[in-house]
Amino acid sequence: MKSFLGSLALVFGVLAASTAAADECLVYLGTYTGPKSKGIYVSQLNRATGELSAPELAAETKSPSFLAIHPNGRLLYAVGEVAEFQGKKAGSISAFSIDRKSGKLTALNQQTSGGDGPCHLVVDRAGKYVLAANYGGGSVTAIAIKEDGSLGEVTACVEQEGKGVNAQRQEKPHGHSINVDKENRFAVAADLGLDKLLV
């Protein structure tokens, strides 16, 4: 297993989804795709022993570097950390349904992330929206979740302006993460390029 994980381009997102057995859960691993990585991988975690099974390909998709599981545990969302999607300067967000027995993912659809290089996403606590941060595009996006778990239209895209003090890394905004507060009222975005938290 160590050699397999070492061969992945880079593992970023690790999420767990409970399975029918109380002592086991599914663990999803997001990667940058390349010669040795094809997308999202899944392992079984034995909670009693801490043993993790060898990762298996759950779904092929381009550079799913960060993942989020819907509050209902039946859906998974992944960024596509790319600079171009459907001929436009933007990344993608993909929606998948989870097979709770096998851990395999079934693609539902993809939507634009509203900016290039999305690097982080979260599902709001009510399970109605996916929020994403676009590193390359310096923006944050909200996308509606349909009844079937697929992604609807982009409902908001906020592009930041400005720069930070480090000219090499902060020449412009770089959305780095976005999260929601405990009451699900506010979204807080961290911007690496601006050195600011934006509410």
Domain count, the chain: 1
pTM assigned to the model: 0.89
Element (H, E) at 177: strand 175-180
The pLDDT value recorded for residue 169 is: 86
Q: How many CB atoms lie within 10 A of CB 113?
A: 33
CATH number (domain holding residue 170) = 2.130.10.10
Residue % of the chain over a pLDDT of 90: 79
- Say which range, 68-72, 125-129, 145-149, 191-195, has the weakest mean pLDDT: 191-195
**Residue 65: which residues within 8 A CB-CB, separation 6 or more?**
10, 12, 13, 30, 31, 32, 79, 81, 119
Whether residue 9 is predicted with pLDDT greater than 90 in this model: the reply is no
The pLDDT value recorded for residue 82 is: 92
**Residue 21: which residues within 8 A CB-CB, separation 6 or more?**
none
Residue 61 structural domain: 2-198
